[in-house]
């Protein structure tokens, strides 16, 4: 199974592509960020995010898209703009017929680090450890996206085990 994790943002959208083998081993295929210019109109920034995700989807035979849900920031405008960036990611997956899963930030941190209150640095460190990487995945937005993909892999593996136990 190949999973594309997306950490949406209007300025920087992180992405991470991981592959889970049938034995449960997970490996990193690619990670990075899609950057937009703050002075551009929101519609153009959303187009860049959408096209960037489409490019990543074109490079990999993705089986599932995992996206972080909206967290409620103190600034309502930030929350709304983040929702737009998520929409661009969801649309990219939907147009290709890829199933989409959504995970709350605390759920992702709990799956990767063991606590829903983990710091970005703790998430980066655990992603490095879980994937046996030589260096920390950078920038932090890319590491967060990889963590989202790993969270989905763990959830899928758990669902498979539960179905097998029936």
What would the mean pLDDT of 113-122 be, rounded to a whole number?
A: 93
In degrees to the nearest 10, what's the CA dihedral of 103, 158, 56, 10?
10
What would the mean pLDDT of 59-86 be, rounded to a whole number?
A: 86
Distance separating alpha carbons of residues 70 and 85, to the nearest angstrom: 10
What would the mean pLDDT of 27-31 be, rounded to a whole number?
A: 97
Specify the higher pLDDT residue, 81 or 17: 17
- Residue 139 near residue 14 (C-beta atoms within 8 A): yes
Per DSSP bridges, beta strands 26-35 and 12-20 are: antiparallel
Percent of the chain topping pLDDT 70: 96
Q: Which residues are catalytic?
A: 7, 68, 141
What would the mean pLDDT of 130-148 be, rounded to a whole number?
A: 94
Q: For the chain, what's the residue count?
A: 166
Whole-prediction pTM: 0.93
What count of other Cβ atoms lies within 10 Å of the Cβ of residue 122? 15
């Amino acid at each position: 199974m190949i999973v594309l994790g997306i950490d949406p943002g209007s300025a920087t959208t992180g992405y991470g592509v991981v592959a889970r083998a049938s034995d449960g081993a997970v490996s990193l295929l690619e990670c990075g960020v899609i950057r937009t210019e703050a002075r551009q109109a929101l519609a153009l920034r959303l187009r860049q995010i959408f096209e960037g995700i489409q490019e990543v989807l074109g490079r990999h035979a993705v089986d599932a898209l995992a996206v972080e849900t909206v967290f409620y920031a103190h600034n309502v405008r930030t929350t709304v703009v983040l929702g737009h960036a998520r929409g661009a990611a969801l649309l990219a997956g939907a147009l290709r017929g890829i199933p989409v899963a959504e995970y709350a930030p605390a759920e992702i941190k709990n799956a990767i680090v063991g606590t829903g209150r983990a710091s970005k640095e703790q998430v980066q460190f655990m992603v490095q450890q879980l994937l046996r990487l030589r260096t920390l995945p950078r920038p932090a937005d890319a590491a967060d996206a990889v963590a989202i993909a790993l969270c989905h892999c763990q959830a899928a593996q758990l669902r498979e085990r539960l179905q097998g136990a029936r």
